[in-house]
Amino acid sequence: MKKIFYCFIVLLIFKFFIITESIAQDKPEYCIVVHGGAGNFNSSEFDTATYWKYYNSIKEVLLLGDSLLSNGIKAIDVVEKCAVIFENSPLFNAGKGAVINSKGEFELDASIMDGSNLKAGAVAGVKTVKNPIKLARMVMDSTAHVMLIGAGAEEFAFIKGIEIVDPEYFETPEVMKKYKSTVNDKNGTIGVVALDKYGNLAAATSTGGMMMKKYGRVGDSPIIGAGTYADSHYAAVSCTGHGEYFIRTLCAYNLVAAMKYANMNIVEAAENAILQIANLGGTGGLIAVDKYGNVVFNYNSKSMFRGYKKSNTNLVIEF
């Protein structure tokens, strides 16, 4: 009887090491995940040229992130640099191509968070900063604050040498056409989350907000815990959608909290976070990556621009 018992214990130990080794082999060395906004669109209805514009834009960001991470660049630097590429693209509602508020003005928001130390920076309502994500990073690194808004943020950008542009820089023919016809369906808030070689997680989100929003409105994207959150012990999250609902549920932190306090895995936590949005009547989505390199996309809108690249996988791009 003792012999059978000891054999059983040895078998369990052997099985444990097999499972552990399997997990170790599957875990990527690093991972980059991006979104280009959730909304009421169907990519099957895109003409060929439009489809490939979006595909190649997302691909460019993922390849940059992959290259940086493979060379040992930290996650916090990677999410910032990748977000800048998105902000410089006229395809998305962030930076160039941002939507217009009810007064015909651009008001841009962005945030960034380092999961290794829980430091964060954010800006809201900036009108002349070419890359709001750079300013959010500067707030994190060079002040004792987390968020700066409006004129104060603009002045801080000027003092720190962040590139300033004429508001007309943000205009695109598509946005101006929709503004003049009062169409408010522009999608494209952008987000980036990453896991680096050192096990650190980071997240960044940038947006122009909602088309025809009341001037002075701030959504979830620059609010740490609502639209952006990163904790290297759990996950990094970036959200997109109807921001008021993401603020009310603290969606990004809600996902991490579910992992931390309810012992959910990242898939369960993401489903729970979006379900709470849906139960309130809101729509949108999120991307997230956990400390093991597990990736999740979850959304209840019609679709979401999204993609990822792990050290041990090929590119994945979907929309």
Distance CA 239, CA 228 (A): 6
- Mean pLDDT for each 10-residue chunk of the chain (319 residues)? 40 30 64 96 92 97 98 98 98 95 95 98 98 98 98 97 96 81 69 98 97 94 98 98 97 98 98 98 98 98 97 96
Distance CA 182, CA 255 (A): 35
Residue written as token pair 């002349």: 128
H or E segment to which residue 204 belongs: strand 201-207
Give the single-character DSSP code of 212.
Answer: T
Distance CA 288, CA 46 (A): 27
The answer to whether residues 258 and 273 touch, using CB atoms and an 8 Å cutoff, is: yes
Strand-pair partners of 240: 285
The answer to whether residues 264 and 255 touch, using CB atoms and an 8 Å cutoff, is: no
Please name the residues in contact with 110: beta carbons below 8 A apart, sequence gap of 6 or more: 83, 94, 122, 123, 132, 133, 135, 136, 204, 205, 206, 207, 221, 222
Distance CA 278, CA 217 (A): 22
**Structure token digits, residue 114:** 């380092």
The answer to whether residues 36 and 86 touch, using CB atoms and an 8 Å cutoff, is: yes
Domains of the chain as residue ranges with CATH: 33-318 (3.60.20.30)
Report pLDDT for 7. 40
- Using CB atoms within 10 Å of the CB of residue 98, give its burial: 0 to 12 exposed, 13 to 18 middle, 19+ buried: buried
Torsion sign over Cα 78, 40, 280, 267: negative
Report pLDDT for 26. 85
Residue written as token pair 């217009």: 100
Give the single-character DSSP code of 129.
Answer: B
Q: Which residues are catalytic?
A: 189
Q: What is the pTM of this model?
A: 0.90
